A and B are shown apart, each in its own frame.
Chain A
Amino acid sequence: MPDIRLDGITKRFGDFTAVKDLNVTFEENTVTCLLGPSGCGKTTLMRMIAGLETPTEGRVRFGERDVTALAPRQRNIGMVFQYPVMYPTLTVEENILLPLRHDRTVDQSERRRRLAEVLEVLQMEDMAGATIGQLDAGSRQRVAVGRAVARYCDIILFDEPTTNVEVNAKLQLIRAFKEVARRLRQTIIYVTHDQTEAMTLADHIALMRDGEIVQHAPPPELYRQCRTEFGGWFIGNPGMNFYRTELHADRTNVRLPFLAREIPVPEGARGDLTVGIRPEHVRLHDSDHGGLAAAEVISRSITIGGQYLVKLAVDDQIIRAKVPSSVGRRLGGRVYLECPDWAVTVFSGGVRLETGTAAAEQSVSSR
């Protein structure tokens, strides 16, 4: 299956530039998520790959083949939309086979083989005879996936297919995607605003903002070494705590009052800086075992895996900490904050300063 190469892609709608001069390759046989908030350009980008929009400038290539001028049907792509179009009176099996019916290159036994394969990958064997009208939204989406997959397209595009699906069905669907990518090795591009979905599903995430890709990396790297302040906020559940400060001339340290200490900043840093710390890296203690900052617990709530999300006030600074259930349950009133150096990221002008990166890498590899 080919990769997808975007070469200087720009898309303008009147005065508005939706996608700005992108140069990027999405690898073959992998799942790439286009991730970002509403209006970041992710859907426009996907529509250009599909051929539903024509780029104002630049070329789209599938491998060596320039497809910029080709209509969607000439590109050998499959698409699954947020609201899949399906035939409610036909069965699951009939819906999946529909696009193959007029394809002369696929004979009857090959059709049966693909159907069986797709039903197995999507874990829908026992629903093959059910009509679409009998299924819940999540199962319907899985049928839509199956229909796109069964055609053996080079590339499959998904547009927020899990947006209208209830939580448990969503999880089933995410698992189905993983199986499709792993077993059928098709190049998948997936558009979403849900970072959890992107983290669990993607081989690579292209994080987008204002028509640009701010970082293109495997999910763990995007989480551990976010290149921008925006990434530190967007990736993470919730995102980083930020503290804005200023580095005075001739100093190499900045003081973090909410940790009651100073941290060294990378060489060359000057002026306005932002310090970012992930909530899961803030440690909370019942007592001060030496120079820790005191904080008041404002509120606590339970989040993923029974962890506690704790909102704290240190003077007028609000800090969020995500702590294990065993710690969160007994907290209240006054606590003491601690955070290891490796978990502190320093940004200048919205971009991560390099020393922080090296420190984070070291800490990760040493574990």
Chain B
Amino acid sequence: MALLEFKGITKTYRGKRALNGVDLEIANDTLTVICGPPQSGKSVLLRLLVGLEAPDGGEITLDGEPLTATAAGARPIGYVPQSFALFPHLTVRTNIAYPLRLAKVGHDEVERRLGQVAELLNIGHLLDHTPDQLSGGEKQRTAVARGLMKDATLFVLDDPLVGLDFKLRERLMEDLREMRRTLGIAFVYVTGDPVEALTMADDLVVLDAGRVVEHSDVLSLYHEPYNLRTAELIGFPACNLLAAEPARGQCHTALFAFEVDGTDSGALPARMSVALRPEDVRLGERDGTLRATGTVRLVENLGAECVVYLAVDDVDLTTTVRVDEGRVPTEGDRIDFTVDPDSLIAFDADSGRRIGRGRRAAHA
């Protein structure tokens, strides 16, 4: 049984639907990331979960028990809000103890828990400081500690790393994953950053326009997206999407035509969108079934890898190259490339439904 379940959740603000019937089951002892573009409803979903707001319709259950009627303070859920929301005038100790004081937990029990989480997060030496004396990482650890104080079955983090130093984020992502494993409880983690989502997630939920688009383990979701929006949103640099239409049983893009597995010509919809990951464009290769030539518009050298932006007639194509493998192109270069048909995934452009992968050509 799922630890946490959302059933038909709706929420409307001033006539605008923020959540449009969310059905979602979240597994225990797993880090589930909810990722979506701005306004997709991800923060709203968390606010309903922790009890800051009530849904208009639908039900949330935790361990099979309905949550909807339970007050925020009484839910067994630890919460780290966006940008931490620490009380600036209170010490770290008082900040951390706050949720338990609110729940009228006895002094000895508060001290016991405080000792535990302070040790876990290595902030024992900071307990008498105020937030303005802390570094970004220390503030984050304090906010996490406060979230952990409650005897929670679930831990909820709302974009906890937004605005922090890049290198600090790198370390905190690792620390949070490690900490979750140590605690052995479920985390629900919200972010709008696809790289952060891919780095953090065991399971990944793609949310768009107030609905769950797709939900699966993170590696499958990346390699086998079943919805156009998943392909579009999850990945960095963003996936190329090529407009396509059917002709003579094949899927025709402006660059090349290919057969789609498991379909015949009648089954192809009139408007398609073909997903091509940047890493699947093989620059500098000419021996392949699908090939074309482009002009290099811009090269972004990140050190270990380059992002190369190509123009192929009217089509813009983003590609990546590992710097240690092959030549790094320069702006203005004409460059050949190939694509394996089975790295292409065709979607119905209107419904977003997956049609199938390109079929690898039979050897002649």
Contact = CB atoms under 8 A, between A and B. Distances in A.
A194 interface: yes
Max count, chain B CB within 10 A of own CB: residue among A166, A178, A302, A303: A302
The interface size bin for chain B is 35 or more
Interface stretch (A19-27, A123-131, A233-241, A265-273): A233-241
A37 B168 contact: yes
A93 interface: no
Contacts of A163: 163
Interface stretch (B120-128, B141-149, B297-305): B297-305
Interface in A204-256: 219-220, 223, 233-239
A300 to B, nearest CB: 8
Interface residues of A, number: 45
Nearest to A39: B135
Contact of B199 (A38, A281, A301, A329): A301
B167 A37 contact: yes
Contacts of B194: 167
Interface in A288-337: 299-307, 309, 322, 324-325, 329
A237 B304 contact: yes
B200 to A, nearest CB: 8
B301 A193 contact: no
Contact of B303 (A37, A199, A233, A329): A199
A329 B200 CA distance: 17
A167 B307 CA distance: 15
A223 B303 contact: yes
Contacts of B223: 329
Nearest to A197: B166
Max count, chain A CB within 10 A of own CB: residue among B167, B194, B322: B167
Contact of A278 (B192, B222, B304, B320): B304
B279 A305 contact: yes
Given A236-B303, A304-B195, A304-B236, A195 B320 contact: no
Nearest to B300: A200
Contacts of B167: 37, 193, 195, 233-234, 239
Top 3 A-B pairs, shortest CB-CB distance: A305-B320, A223-B303, A306-B279
29 contacts: A37-B165, A37-B167, A38-B165, A166-B37, A166-B38, A167-B192, A178-B298, A193-B167, A199-B300, A220-B303, A235-B303, A236-B303, A237-B170, A239-B167, A278-B304, A279-B304, A280-B323, A301-B198, A301-B218, A302-B199, A303-B195, A305-B236, A305-B320, A306-B222, A306-B278, A306-B279, A306-B280, A307-B279, A329-B223
